[in-house]
Amino acid sequence: MPFEGQKILPAIQSMKDFDKMLTYSFRYGVFLNLHVGMLKSAFDYARSKNKKMFLHMDLIQGLSNDEFATEYVCQVIKPYGIISTKSSVIKKARQLNVKAIHRTFVIDSNALDRSVQLINKSDPDYIELLPGVVPKVIERVGITTGKPIIAGGLIETEQEVEEALRAGAIAITTSSIALWTAFS
């Protein structure tokens, strides 16, 4: 089972959030909004606590989110995985045997069709679908791509988590401490 059955992937916006995550049994999470100067120490700290963390490449402050930055991050920082909206970043991570999540925003049927094309091109391990509160889109993207879906964005209640999971999502990304508590 992906993520050892963990339904919530805590989205970490600061090291204070990471310290909060450590009070729960979560093994997997996502670092958002890190400064390039904090990457090594944040991941060293996470590894020392036996946490497997994804890094959102598009949100690193002070580092471009291209395939060269991806190569550097994968070889030097060695995250468990990366997240990006860019196909080239996803493809590079996969070439380097790092787990890759292709993040995509589906706001209408044209965005859905374009997202499926990009996902097929990048061949990620997982798809993060935003907003995650549209169960029929979660189901459709999962069926169309054959890839595991992680739902994120605008999920605020336990009921919305359960609806996304019933629609086929394998996990939910969220920065909501209340949802961490409910699903820990």
- pLDDT at residue 133 greater than cutoff 80: yes
Number of independent structural domains in the chain: 1
User: Span 79-96, mean pLDDT?
Assistant: 98
CATH number of the domain that 124 lies in?
3.20.20.70
Q: Are 151 and 120 spatial neighbours (Cβ–Cβ below 8 Å)?
A: no
Please compute the mean of the pLDDT values over residues 119-141 and round it to a whole number. 97
pTM score, two decimals? 0.97
CA distance 172 to 38: 25
Tokens of 82: 């990366």
Q: What is the pLDDT of residue 142?
A: 97
pLDDT of residue 88: 97
Q: Does residue 1 carry a pLDDT above 80?
A: no
pLDDT in the model for residue 83: 98
Confidence of residue 114 (pLDDT cuts 50, 70, 90): very high
Region 96-109: mean pLDDT is: 97
Q: Supply the range of the domain harboring residue 11.
A: 2-182
What letter represents residue 170's amino acid? Answer: I
180 contacts 10 by C-beta, under 8 angstroms = yes
* Residue range 27-52, pLDDT digits in tens: 999 999 999 999 999 999 999 999 99
Q: What per-residue confidence (pLDDT) applies to 81?
A: 98
Provide the CB-side half-sphere exposure for 26 (13 A, CA). 31
- For residue 128, name the pLDDT band (cuts at 50, 70, 90): very high
